[in-house]
Chain A
Amino acid sequence: MMTLSNISARSNQWITPNIAIMAVFLFTAPFWLTAVGLYDYIGLEIVIWLIYAMGFNLLFGYTGLHSFGHGAYLGVGAYAFGLFQHEVAVSLWGGLFAAVAAAGIAGLFVGLFLSHRRGLYYALLTIAFGQIFWFSAIKLRGITGGEDGLLNIPRPELNLLVTSIDLNNNVALYYFAAIILFILILFLWRLVHSPFGRILQAIRQNEMRASFAGYEVWRFKLAAFTISAMFAGMAGGLFSMAQQSAYPDVMAVHQSGLIVMMVLIGGGLVSFWGPVFGVILYYVARDILGGITEAWLLWYGLMFVLMVMFRPEGIAGVIHTLNQRFSKRPATQKAQVT
């Protein structure tokens, strides 16, 4: 079985060929999305969920910590952005800062309870906390708007000193989100190859050994959870801009399950790029299968079952295996997935 630690450990470049390919796809998408039968808004959704999924995979794939309640931090980010616009000021950067900070604080708080746990207990606690956030979002009507959520959240304009850009246009918002995603991908790429990132991977492999090597494992688990929650918060802030609303459903347990499915199907357990495949597949499946049948989630679920049974390494793993087969690299390098 491949694992993420098989990623070439010697990468020390800022820009790799895969990052360059990602940049080309990301920044040219509005030119060809409609030509392939899709539309601008799906590109925006994919980019936002990619921010969420890439951050989630730092926790799930790299650190080996299974969170099934991560939708809570997406929701906290979305509400924080909306509340900032409604209660404080209509400000893009202020709102996004509030979204990331609120999700980070929520992640830090929950992480303090989780980080001394492992395995099943860790996973169950993430679900429990996710439910607490979801239930609170429904019940605190005065703050969150209850089941209706926060409505009429504005899309503040992007002020660039010399000029400003109206983000009410979906393509403009797409590019704004895509630039944020690209910066975060560069950061994550460095992080997973840094000492901090390698220690997270060591913890995934053997918590006890990491502890006997002198690392306070719980602090690293806490940091991974908090960073991951901050990514979710950023995605939540952008999501509330895109939807111009924030509602409790994004915090529900099935939404938290979706991100796990996306990351697993994509191959987040074996590749940095796994979440990209998973998120794209989900949204394309939603639109294409959804256009054919209302029961598209059934087919998506079946695809997940088949993937777990026959290709647990996900799409990224399949691509890697094919790549290895055709390039005929030596066996010792077979496990290197990038």
Chain B
Amino acid sequence: MAFFEARNIHKRFGSSVVLEKIDLDFEQGQISGIMGPNGAGKTTCFNVLTGRYAPNRGTMTFEGRDITGLSPQRIARMGISRSFQIMNLFDDSAVIENIMIALPEFRDMRSNMIRPVFRDKMLEAEAMEILSQVGLQDVAWEPSKSLSYGQRRALEIGVALAAKPRIVFLDEPTQGLGAEATRQLSTLIKQLRERYTIVLIEHDMRFLFELADKISVIHWGQVIAEGTPSELQSNSWVQRSALGEIA
């Protein structure tokens, strides 16, 4: 049994079928990639896997436990964390607070109505440690809305990592990034692979093929190909996509 398994996942919105018979396996310690054209159902797939939408059919297991239909907060507490394609941060809060709120230790104190958050130096140090992992330690006390686009992408990943996840889902982390920022992100993800199991949705094929151990190709809501980057090089869909024939 794989670390994270999805079997026969179907998702429908009204009469339109968005995901159909999706089977995915993510192995511990690996970087798994999901690719596909716009509108293929990649983000919906992520939303189902992380609890935002319940599947209409199918099952999902994480470390052998059935997580099908659980709420996002229960899934998050089991150690499944995610970033978003459209950035989802606490924009008015300081960068460090975005991280602190996602820490499991902070979550354990959630009912505390008296103790000031910033009296806890351990919590602060832990958040700074996460920020240094994603290169944002120097802007820790800035409002997150004042960060550059690339920094906000890094903060998205930092928030996902702060939950001390067993598996991290990153939804199009390079979207909107320039070449240099993409290269930095690639370096960051290479560093993170030592500690986390990562699942990446990515449009940038070069980025994905460089990082992923295994890639699943989704098209029209179905997994049409799966394999290592080298196995997929010969796949006709991937070749056409690389030539820009498929958007």
Contact = CB atoms under 8 A, between A and B. Distances in A.
Interface stretch (A105-113, A128-136, A187-195, A314-322): A187-195
A116 B117 CA distance: 27
Interface in A194-252: 194-199, 201-202, 205-206, 208-217, 220
A261 interface: no
Categorize the interface residue count of chain B: 35 or more
Interface stretch (A4-12, A19-27, A92-100, A295-303): A4-12
B116 interface: yes
Interface string B69-102: 0011100110001101000111111100100111
A276 B134 CA distance: 42
Contacts of B113: 187, 190-191, 194, 196-197
Contacts of B93: 5, 9, 198, 201-202, 205
A10 to B, nearest CB: 4
A99 B9 CA distance: 52
B13 interface: no
Contact of B116 (A12, A187, A199, A220): A12
A63 B90 CA distance: 13
Contact of A12 (B100, B106, B118): B118
Contacts of A211: 71-73, 76
Nearest to A1: B92
Contacts of A332: 142, 146
Most buried by B among A9, A195, A197, A208: A195
B50 interface: yes
Contacts of A187: 113
Contact of B109 (A195, A206, A214, A217): A195
A3 interface: yes
A5 B89 CA distance: 13
A9 B112 contact: no
A195 B112 contact: yes
B53 to A, nearest CB: 12
Contacts of A205: 90-93
A4 B112 CA distance: 20
A190 B114 CA distance: 5
Interface in B132-186: 142-143, 146, 159, 163
A335 interface: yes
Contacts of B100: 198
B112 A194 contact: yes
B189 to A, nearest CB: 20
A6 B88 contact: no
Most buried by A among B93, B109, B116: B116
B102 A213 contact: yes
Interface string B101-132: 11010110111111111110000000000000
B76 A214 contact: yes
Most buried by B among A6, A194, A220: A194
A9 B117 contact: yes
A252 to B, nearest CB: 32
Interface of B: 50, 52, 71-73, 76-77, 81-82, 84, 88-94, 97, 100-102, 104, 106-107, 109-119, 142-143, 146, 159, 163
Closest 5 CB pairs of A and B: A12-B116, A5-B92, A214-B76, A195-B109, A10-B118
